[in-house]
Chains A and B, each alone.
Chain A
Amino acid sequence: MLILEGLSKTYKTGDAALRDVSLTVPKGQIMGLIGPSGAGKSTLIRCINRLVEPTGGKVLLGDMDLVRLGKADLRRQRRRIGMIFQEYALVERLTVMENVLSGRLGYVPFWRSFLRKYPPADIQRAYQLLDRVGLIEHADKRADALSGGQRQRVGIARALAQDPELLLVDEPTASLDPKTSRQIMRLLTEICAERDLPAIVNIHDVPLAQQFMQRIVGLRAGRVVFDGTPDQLTHDALTAIYGEEDWNEMRRGDEEQTRAELDARDRMAALAR
């Protein structure tokens, strides 16, 4: 279980990215974090594993306050938190297997990671995860040889290789097409359900969030302005998060966009044939 208490972040430039955010994410819950650009979504999830240092508040994972930890302890605690990135953030020039095994870096001594001599149990687990995300036959390919959707699957396998107790997911589908986005979201939700894993998912695509999330939190200017189920995300709630806009029109537009993209792809496929 993850508890945020009064989490705040003010950058050196004086911009308050987060103001007094308090949230509780129970075991097994997938929470979507929505909000306009600059609302503090990325800052929030990076404050949890302290890739960004929070300026105030508490981050409790289990009964451990991550904000107070020293460098060595922080490294040990980061192993409990898997992170998945927008642009996949794989090490492009390493193989798929090396990328998945890099999820074990916090558990193995330097010489093992340097010589790529991981313990047999780690290797077996990496193969098992690659099989789970459907990439076992690509294990020895270089990461930059894969497509976007495949790379994000490697990113998921790397995060799971850590045996995490929490997943932080930063815009997992922002660089993917609508169909692959839905496949990735489905995979993420299945995996979280299998392991009873809580997850915080930054997402800017509201219909996608409504389709896959159990709970949605809306951020605006660093404050929580909405916290509820996808059904409760009404016209008024969206206006509170994003400001005035014709939301029904936008949703219709989004469906149209999806249909248009699918149509365009079908036609391209027909041309290629």
Chain B
Amino acid sequence: MTEITHYSQVWSYRTSRGRLALWGGWLALVALFVWCWQIMTRDTIWFFVADAPTQAADIGSRMVPPRWSYLPELMQPLWDTINIATLGTIGGVIMAVPVAFLAARNTTPSALILRPIALFIIVASRSINSLIWALLLVAIIGPGLLAGIVAIALRSIGFIGKLLYEAIEETDATQIEAIEATGASGAQVLSYGIVPQIMPAFWGITVFRWDINIRESTILGLVGAGGIGLKLQASLNTLAWSQVTVILLLILATVVLSEWVSARMRHAII
């Protein structure tokens, strides 16, 4: 064991070039921050910033006490909001499932043509915010619930499609191989080899997206696509701050509740 002294005691995690690059990188990052800060603050009017606490306190004082008598009037728009989220999620799932199977490498019927198309649908849906989808749809199919539902559905395709196709690609190939070896047809391989493996992911993704959609649908009314956002916009326009408080608290309660429901459901499934 005395031989051990012949071995080097020096070992470093990074090479000296790597260390230098790391330091250079951090330095560049700090320099960038300082430079951005200077541009950012050049046009700031510091009087307004200094005034901010007073303004906040002013609006805050007008927001309390909340006008609780406004609450019954909000129940119908809230119900609309939940319906937009739920129906939109269902619509999104219906459209996303085939897209996911076309996009997954192990199930796509044509990797050269259909897979890129499916991936493009996913990216296109994800790149446009649901508020912008709603703006477009209000212009196309007119204001109201339907525009909201379609906007939520279109936005959901990308999210559900992407997560689901990743789940499909992560399935265990030997289970699929075993089903193929029995002489099963393509549809049977799908329903016995792949579907059981992605079911937990599927329900988890769907409930998670529903939870997100509840949050997103609360603001769709701002652009006229129905729901509680309409009331929020109306109250903001008339500077009825005590009503705004009631709406915000109601949205908060709804979101907390939906999050609780989705957590419970996902727990039950997985």
Contact (Cβ within 8 A) B181 A75: no
Q: How many Å lie between the Cα of A89 and that of B188 in the bound state?
A: 16
Contact (Cβ within 8 A) B191 A106: no
- Contact among A76, A78, A91 with B181 in the assembled complex (CB-CB below 8 Å): A78
Contact (Cβ within 8 A) A85 B174: yes
Q: Does A105 contact B (CB under 8 A)?
A: yes
Q: How many Å lie between the Cα of A83 and that of B180 in the bound state?
A: 10
Q: How many Å lie between the Cα of A113 and that of B188 in the bound state?
A: 7
Q: How many Å lie between the Cα of A107 and that of B185 in the bound state?
A: 10
> Cβ of A79: which chain B residues have Cβ within 8 Å of it?
182-183
Contact (Cβ within 8 A) A113 B192: yes
Given A94-B192, A113-B191, residue A77 in contact with residue B183 (CB < 8 A): yes
Contact (Cβ within 8 A) B187 A81: no
Q: How many Å lie between the Cα of A75 and that of B183 in the bound state?
A: 4
Q: How many Å lie between the Cα of A93 and that of B180 in the bound state?
A: 17
Contact (Cβ within 8 A) A81 B179: no
Contact (Cβ within 8 A) A102 B192: yes
Residue of A nearest to B197 (CB): A93
Q: Does A198 contact B (CB under 8 A)?
A: no
Q: Does B29 contact A (CB under 8 A)?
A: no
Binary interface profile of A, 88-117, with partner B (CB < 8 Å = 1, else 0)? 011111100010001111110010011000
- Contact among B191, B196, B199, B200 with A114 in the assembled complex (CB-CB below 8 Å): B191
**Interface residue range, chain B:** 20 to 34
The size of the chain A interface, using a CB distance under 8 A, is 31
Q: Does A215 contact B (CB under 8 A)?
A: no
Residue of B nearest to A168 (CB): B181
Contact (Cβ within 8 A) A105 B175: no
Binary interface profile of B, 188-212, with partner A (CB < 8 Å = 1, else 0)? 1001110011011000000000000
Q: Does A158 contact B (CB under 8 A)?
A: yes
Contact (Cβ within 8 A) A85 B183: no
Contact (Cβ within 8 A) A78 B182: yes
> Cβ of B187: which chain A residues have Cβ within 8 Å of it?
110, 114
Contact (Cβ within 8 A) A75 B184: yes
> Cβ of A105: which chain B residues have Cβ within 8 Å of it?
179, 182-185, 188, 192
> Cβ of B182: which chain A residues have Cβ within 8 Å of it?
78-79, 83, 102-106, 158, 162
Residue of A nearest to B181 (CB): A83
Contact (Cβ within 8 A) B178 A89: yes
Contact (Cβ within 8 A) A85 B178: yes
Contact (Cβ within 8 A) B196 A93: yes
Residue of A nearest to B188 (CB): A105
Contact (Cβ within 8 A) A90 B183: no
> Cβ of A158: which chain B residues have Cβ within 8 Å of it?
178, 182
The smallest beta-carbon distance between A145 and chain B, in angstroms, is: 14
> Cβ of B193: which chain A residues have Cβ within 8 Å of it?
91
> Cβ of A51: which chain B residues have Cβ within 8 Å of it?
177, 180-181
Given A90-B175, A94-B192, A94-B196, residue A49 in contact with residue B185 (CB < 8 A): no
Q: Does A5 contact B (CB under 8 A)?
A: no
The smallest beta-carbon distance between B117 and chain A, in angstroms, is: 25
Q: Does A20 contact B (CB under 8 A)?
A: no
Contact (Cβ within 8 A) A75 B192: no
Q: How many Å lie between the Cα of A114 and that of B199 in the bound state?
A: 15
Given A76-B183, A105-B179, residue A87 in contact with residue B188 (CB < 8 A): no
Q: How many Å lie between the Cα of A76 and that of B196 in the bound state?
A: 24
The smallest beta-carbon distance between B135 and chain A, in angstroms, is: 42
Contact (Cβ within 8 A) B181 A81: yes
Contact (Cβ within 8 A) B184 A91: no
> Cβ of B183: which chain A residues have Cβ within 8 Å of it?
75-79, 105-107, 162
Contact (Cβ within 8 A) B192 A83: no
Contact (Cβ within 8 A) A102 B184: yes
Binary interface profile of A, 65-91, with partner B (CB < 8 Å = 1, else 0)? 000000000011111010101010111
The smallest beta-carbon distance between B214 and chain A, in angstroms, is: 29
The smallest beta-carbon distance between A200 and chain B, in angstroms, is: 14
Contact (Cβ within 8 A) B174 A91: no
> Cβ of B191: which chain A residues have Cβ within 8 Å of it?
110, 113-114
Q: How many Å lie between the Cα of A79 and that of B179 in the bound state?
A: 11
Instruction: Given A75-B183, A91-B192, A113-B184, output 17 extra A-B contacts at Cβ < 8 Å.
Output: A75-B184, A78-B180, A89-B175, A89-B178, A91-B178, A91-B193, A102-B184, A102-B192, A105-B183, A105-B185, A105-B192, A106-B182, A113-B188, A113-B191, A113-B192, A162-B183, A168-B181
Complex A-B: 10 CB contacts under 8 Å:
A51-B177, A81-B181, A90-B178, A91-B175, A102-B192, A103-B182, A105-B179, A105-B188, A110-B187, A114-B191
Residues of B within 8 A of A (CB): 172, 174-175, 177-185, 187-188, 191-193, 196-197, 199-200
Which 6 pairs of residues, A with B, have the shortest CB-CB distance? A106-B183, A105-B184, A78-B183, A89-B178, A79-B183, A83-B181
